[in-house]
Amino acid sequence: MIQQYIDIKKQHQDCLLLFRVGDFYELFFEDAKIGAKALEIALTSRDGEDGIPLAGIPFHALDTYLAKLLKKGYKVAICDQVEDPKQAKGIVKREVVKIVTPGTIIDENLLDAKDNNFMCALSCYGNKAGLAFVDNSTGEFFYTEERLNFESINRIIQKYLPSECIVSSDFPLRTQLTRLNLNISNHEVNDTTIKSFDTLLNQTTTHKAGKEAISLLISYLSETQKNSLSHINKIKFIELNKYMNLDYTSIRNLELITTIKENRKKGSLLSIIDKTDSAMGGRKLKQWLLNPLLNSEEIDHRLNMVESLLEDGLLLKSLKELIGKIYDLERLSTKVAYQTVNPKDLVALKHSLQNIPKIKETLISSNSKSLVSLANRLCALDQLVSIIEQGIVPSPPTTIKDGGVIKEGFNSELDELNYTASNGRNFLAEYEENQRNNTGIKSLKVRYNKVFGYYIEVTKTNLSLVPDYYIRKQTLTNAERYFTDELKKYEELILGASEKIVELEYKLFCEIREAVLECIEEIQNNSNVIGELDCLCSFATLAIDNNYRKPELTVGDETSITNGRHPVIEETIDRKNFISNDTVLDCSDNQVLIITGPNMAGKSTYMRQVALITLLAQVGCYVPADEAKISIVDRIFTRVGASDDLSSGQSTFMVEMNELANILKNATSKSLIILDEVGRGTSTFDGMSIAQSAIEYLLDKKKIGAKTLFATHYHQLTSLEDRYKGVKNYSIAVKEENDSITFLHLIKKGGSDRSYGIQVAKLAGVPAPVIQRSNEILKFIEEDFTAKQDSSATQDDIFQVMSQKAQELIEEVNDINLNDITPIEALTVLQKLQNKTKKY
């Protein structure tokens, strides 16, 4: 057996091999040491202390332990006994029946219902990279092509966060990819393996890099899953220029999917807008949120359907109730393809499909052409529903092995066997009663076990009453077991019928499963439509619950928001207490809004809410505002907060500058840029210089010319409003009383000349002696600054003063009449001018 293990392990060196031995899965040698540590189970040894290292888990607990191994990034090969040990000659035949990796999981117990589990493959052709993504649990498969550039590739990877990445050994950016903490697997395309997928691959003839990635992914999936992969029957090409280009920094900073601090869904934008009633809808909503649309017609198409749902409350309520009755059709389809579907799953599928015609009928009854077109994409599978209805009992067991699954009347042969088995059981009850009466042994029992079959059990105190025709079968401490020729006859009848029932039920179940498999594309199509409808109903419900309004999308450059609100913050506090604010942004007079004010007053909240309202509008969702005219943007860039990136040896300031560099290199005039405290990670003069230069660069129409919200504590930057067209100053309103302040969270026109840092420290609970001393030091510094203004002024102050003095000198020189001045007078004037310049 150990030799058998070694031979199989040689073929799966990159996996932990779970080797089935009786009721356990065993790990041997180095795998045992790794597995014992990862699973926190005992490490023992076979054949004594110096024997082979061994660690084992019960076979029925496989899923629990498998989840732990996958979470830690291990690939696991499941090696099962593939023949009945009773019939085996010599060693039981064993084979690896599946290789489970973080990206190939299909068990819903190991997955989040509303999250995809993507696996990615990367390949290249010429100067292009091909990226293919598949969710093996749903059959969703798509691909795209991008420049062979790490930043571009990383932007796509971070959007879908694959749990595993397959990369060919010659991929040029392989080393850089290791920085992303992906589970990277090696693989080379096996041409023989992918031959059966030619029909699928023919959809990708014009995208050679993409085709390479698809081939790599299909080859890897086929060889690890050892399955036909019939649930993967469509490949979609993602046109990147159809969607807003969101990078990982913006996804994180805007907390679209998870929060920054705790990396949890709760508190994210997704957690607020997700009112979906199905797993399919939940997964699709997340993809919509990460891929806002750029085409105004497509956006309006979604918005108009949401509007139709809002206008008919009964329609919306009916649809949500029906959608809530539909199980996860995508993952049920995958279980059918993998032949892991159980009887309860098929009943769930039946109930789901029974609601499809009802949803279709409800949509057709609406006044919306768009909703009717959605209904026309649904496929009623009445025949399949009928097969399941007639074949499977209403409340079947989970397993098929013990029978009791197929409904009476579905198969005449099965009905006869069930009648025989049922009558046999009735006979046993009557036989037991007759034997008690005939022998006078009142405690006599007819029993059954798998080893001895049916037998008559008599206690030793009654042995004298046992008749001669009883044949002894087994002796126990307190009893004897017997059988009779008549009992043996019925035993063969009952057991024979029972075995045939199980075999026939399994055969019939497989036939029903095959009928489902033939309809898998229609089921998946229904799942896709239900997912879309669920998202639209979610948007409508959100609009009702949170008082959202329909935005107007424009291809122009003006964004105008009236009483806009932050969708997450307003839910965190009482919505009535949230202070709404207006916003006007365009690429002419209101291109860069410089926002000043104290910390904690709401600058970051305000800027983020503008970004989130824009993003929601382009997703096709109503927005938290009284009115919103939104200019479609190609990207949303954010530079909000920063921290050291110790893993790559980058300081806070370096992280900040990297993010700024990314924005200045990639932003266009159609982008929306959020900049918060640029330059604060270095000295005041350096930071302010960088901040002003960045603003000037963003303003320049020949370079970028993008709409920008710029929050800063450098109050000197407010002077830019007078020097550049397109710059507008705004500040956060603050109410001052004595030495205390109250944040009003209201954005008002005009800049602020104070940061209120000490007042904020007081609000935060800094001890009174520290506050008092801070005020003393501040007073000293302000007086010292006034006395030494020339030497301690900020760069902007210096520039303004120098500019003014230079202008005075120029005017004085220009006023000299050279025709009326004598040489002596000229020397006097020159000396006077020289004395003036020495002061500067």
Q: How far apart are CA 237 and CA 313, in angstroms?
A: 37
Q: How far apart are CA 81 and CA 77, in angstroms?
A: 13
Q: In the block, which residue shows the tokens 């609000």? A: 763
Q: How far apart are CA 413 and CA 145, in angstroms?
A: 56
Q: Which residues contact 557 (CB under 8 A, 6 or more apart)?
A: 586, 587, 588, 631, 669, 670, 707
Strand duo 184-186 + 236-237: pairing: unpaired
Which residues, in sequence order, are bridge partners of residue 742? 735
Residue type, 744: L
Asked if 118 and 135 touch (Cβ cutoff 8 Å), the reply is yes
* 740 annotated ligand binder: no
* 601 annotated ligand binder: yes
Q: Of the candidates 60, 59, 21, 27, which has an alpha carbon nearest to the alpha carbon of residue 41?
A: 27
Asked if 232 and 142 touch (Cβ cutoff 8 Å), the reply is no
What DSSP character marks residue 196? G
Residue 726 Ramachandran class (φ > 0 left, ψ -120 to 50 alpha, else beta): left
* 765 annotated ligand binder: no
Angle at 229 between CA 224 and CA 234, to 5 degrees: 130
What DSSP character marks residue 319? H
DSSP labels, 98-111: EEE-TTT---GGGS
Q: In the block, which residue shows the tokens 């954010």? A: 638
Q: Which residues of 445-458 are buried (b: 16+ CB within 10 A; e: fewer)?
A: ebeeeeeebbbbbb
Compute CA distances 574 → 203, 568, 578, 601, whole Å.
Answer: 52, 11, 7, 17
Strand duo 94-100 + 636-639: pairing: unpaired
Q: How far apart are CA 833 and CA 810, in angstroms?
A: 10
Strand duo 627-631 + 707-711: pairing: unpaired
* 515 annotated ligand binder: no
* 603 annotated ligand binder: yes
Compute CA distances 518 → 96, 231, 344, whole Å.
Answer: 27, 10, 19
- For helices 313-323 and 296-311, the axis angle rounded to 10 degrees is 100
* 325 annotated ligand binder: no
Residue 264: exposure state from Cβ atoms within 10 A (0-12, 13-18, ≥19): exposed
| Upper half-sphere CA count for residue 717 (Cβ side, 13 Å) | 31
Chain-centroid distance of CA 376 in Å reads 30
Dihedral angle at the C-alpha atoms of 742, 743, 746, 750, nearest 10 degrees?
80
Q: Which residues contact 637 (CB under 8 A, 6 or more apart)?
A: 247, 249, 250, 662, 663, 666, 667, 671, 672, 673, 674
Could you list the residues known to form a binding site, using ranges. 597-604
Could you list the residues known to form a binding site for ATP, using ranges. 597-604
